[in-house]
Structure 1
Amino acid sequence: MPEIILQTFISAPAKVCFDLSLSIDLHKISTAHTNEEAIEGTTIGLIKLGEYVTWRARHFGIWFKMTSEITSLIPNESFIDEMLKGPFKSIKHTHTFEAQSCGTLMTDVFCFQSPFGVLGFIADKLILTAYLKKLLIDRNAVIKKYAENGDKSLIV
């Protein structure tokens, strides 16, 4: 199962980074290039423990739907979202936020597995790992931008 680990330092408090990471509205901004929209479940504001969201987005020219649930949440420290249904065999995304003297170290551990056995394994290695890593890097850049600019409009 592929695993993507990213660390992003953000010059902002952990609570701000945490809340922005749970913001459905910020997620839409960070994935605008895929026309991603929340169509079911929690579709605006901050998603909470036990809540789900169904996303509709275009990747590789194909429309997909994916439903994820927040399965674990420790305020301002960590949360996990897991795919309930969608195009992958599984997705588990662990987000952690470590307060540091000048800001927050945000860490993503993104584990996924494609369906279709060997063909899925090949797709993971050749295409999907790099594609998903770029999506996460771009998303983290948006979180960083909003957090460091002090823009809290998406976490009220």
Structure 2
Amino acid sequence: MIEVVSLIDAAPPRVFDLELDMDVHAGSLPGSQETATTSTGRRQLALGDEVTFHARHLGLNWQMTSRISAYEPPYHFVDEQVRGPFRALRHEHHFEDLGDGGTRMTDRMSIHAPLGPLGAMVTRLLLAPYLSRLLRQRAIHIKRLAENVDRRR
């Protein structure tokens, strides 16, 4: 299980919406050349929507389709791989209202690679640290966008 916790000086609805925006998602990892195509054509995901990601990671081209399987705005949503390179991938997004206009954003990701014990070793030594770095990078991007809102409105 990978877990990344971020404190963001913005309300949960703002952070929640940014996390479900596929343009924001793709922009958070410029080095991966990531694109996201949604099943609905909308950039903002909701319950049941699917999104297919194309990206370059670890020197390889990857394609993965995930579905939003749980959706409780503005506090929680889950995306799960329905097609892709992993035996299973589940990514939980939690947004806790800190009561002062801030949010504790927690990403929890569980991944299971194919190839049994070999896949488990590759996950532990390579994939988990790499995905943890990606989640931290994405969280920094979300934090920057969420906190740079014109608060006079």
- The TM-score range, normalised by the shorter chain, is over 0.9
Q: Which residue of 1 aligns with 2:59?
A: 61
Query: Secondary structure, in 3 states, of the residue corresponding to 1:49?
Result: coil
Q: Which residue of 2 aligns with 1:129?
A: 128
Query: Secondary structure, in 3 states, of the residue corresponding to 1:87?
Result: coil
Superposed CA RMSD in Å reads: 1.2
What stretches of structure 2 of length at least 5 have no aligned partner? none
Aligned partners of 2:86 and 2:111 also within 8 Å: yes
Query: Secondary structure, in 3 states, of the residue corresponding to 1:50?
Result: coil
Query: Secondary structure, in 3 states, of the residue corresponding to 1:128?
Result: helix
| 2:35 aligns with one of 34, 37, 43 | 37
**TM-score normalised to the size of structure 1?**
0.91
Deviation, structure 1 residue 79: 0.3
Give the total of aligned pairs.
Answer: 149
**Amino acid in the other structure paired with 1:41:** S
Q: Distance in 1 between matches of 2:69 and 2:16?
A: 15
Query: Secondary structure, in 3 states, of the residue corresponding to 2:54?
Result: strand
State yes or no: 1:48 paired with 2:46: yes
Q: Distance in 2 between matches of 1:73 and 1:39?
A: 19
**Amino acid in the other structure paired with 1:118:** P
State yes or no: 1:20 paired with 2:9: no
Per-residue CA deviations over 1:72-121 (Å, capped at 9, x if unaligned) read: 00010100000001001100011111111330001111111111111101
| 1:85 aligns with one of 83, 86, 98 | 83
Query: Secondary structure, in 3 states, of the residue corresponding to 1:83?
Result: strand
Query: Secondary structure, in 3 states, of the residue corresponding to 2:3?
Result: strand
What stretches of structure 1 of length at least 5 have no aligned partner? 152-156
Query: Secondary structure, in 3 states, of the residue corresponding to 1:150?
Result: coil
Query: Secondary structure, in 3 states, of the residue corresponding to 2:48?
Result: coil
Query: Secondary structure, in 3 states, of the residue corresponding to 2:78?
Result: strand
Question: Structure 2 matches for 1:68-147, cutoff 5 A?
Answer: 68-102=66-100, 103-147=102-146
Deviation, structure 1 residue 5: 1.1
Q: Distance in 1 between matches of 2:59 and 2:42?
A: 26
Q: Which runs of 4+ in 1 moved over 3 A?
A: none
Q: Which residue of 2 aligns with 1:154?
A: none
Aligned partners of 1:25 and 1:44 also within 8 Å: no
**Amino acid in the other structure paired with 1:74:** E
Aligned partners of 1:98 and 1:104 also within 8 Å: yes
Deviation, structure 1 residue 44: 4.7
Deviation, structure 1 residue 39: 3.5
Q: Distance in 2 between matches of 1:39 and 1:92?
A: 19
